[in-house]
Amino acid sequence: MADKDKLDGIVCATVTPVDADFRIDVARLARHCRQMLDDGCSHVSLFGTTGEGTSFGSAEKIAALEALAEAGIAPERMIPAIMNTALADAADMLAATERLGCRAALVLPPFYYPEPGDAGIESFLAALVARSGAERIDLLLYNIPQLARISYTPALVRRLLGRFGERIVGIKDSTGVLANGLGLAGEFPELAVFTGHDGVLPELRSAGGAGMIGGMPNLFAADAVAILAAPDAEATAGRRQDSVRRIEAVDGTGGLAALKALLARRYDDPAWARTMPPLTPLPAAETDAVLAALAQTGYVPGEAA
């Protein structure tokens, strides 16, 4: 829509810091969101997979979004995720996302019951929109079948576009499979197609993709922004190679827990290493091993990359 900024760029899927009682630490989260935007991210996406979104209740996530807005994080730069299987909770999140003026909502399909079918997913989204009363907020589809066990297939996307039309403005493809992202970008040029994986970013961008919504920008936002701006340029070849090596180091040693441990080192703040149960913090020795691997790519803790 004309009054909204374009949905593209590097969107940091932010981790969620928590206090000793496992409550969302809004002060730390606000500082981190501000840092990500300062590092060049177009938006921040809250409470998705990297943000441990399924581990928090809707009420506390909504309260955190309100507090972030009060702390000066512009709602139009926020893309909260809807990660709820309960319709009432999902509707509360969507209603709050619209009420606060957030840029869009990233919608995960209901993931508990296996194989609900395309009709079931359509009925969930229809009930979600109706129950929430949200009439304006843009919707991004969140495709991460390795965790949700449900895929936003091209056939399902076409069906949802037929039902909801321009309310659906894009899709985040977190399969990490290049052919999948390229296929979506080619078949749905009207949608903003994002990857969730740094390794797919250059090729997807060159094929008309919108960019990335992912976790690695929590540490390497500037590199991702540079790659997005020049996905095929020789000048970014080294950054592209380093990006792949960094993914391998982080995902191969703890994934989300590793990101949090590395942020604890970057900010010199051990509280950042806390994870929500059932996830456990990364042991110090494993954190050191990840740092040693990242050092081979020129990464220095405490410096944005």
Does residue 142 have an active-site annotation?
yes
Helix (H, G, I), strand (E, B) or coil at 243: helix
Helix (H, G, I), strand (E, B) or coil at 216: coil
What are the DSSP E strand ranges found in 108-246?
138-143, 168-173, 192-195, 211-214
> Is residue 195 a known part of a binding site?
no
DSSP 8-state symbol, 31: H
**Whether 111 contacts 83, CB under 8 Å:** no
Phi-psi region at 132: left, alpha or beta (left = phi > 0; alpha = psi -120 to 50): alpha
List Cα–Cα distances, 64 to 33, 46, 67, 95, 177, in angstroms: 12, 10, 5, 15, 33
> Is residue 213 a known part of a binding site?
yes
Instruction: From the candidates 61, 142, 260, 299, give the one annotated as an active-site residue.
Output: 142
**Whether 12 contacts 304, CB under 8 Å:** no
Instruction: From the candidates 61, 152, 172, 299, give the one annotated as an active-site residue.
Output: 172
Give the residue numbers of the binding site for pyruvate: 50, 213
Give catalytic residue positions. Answer: 142, 172
Give the residue numbers of the binding site: 50, 213
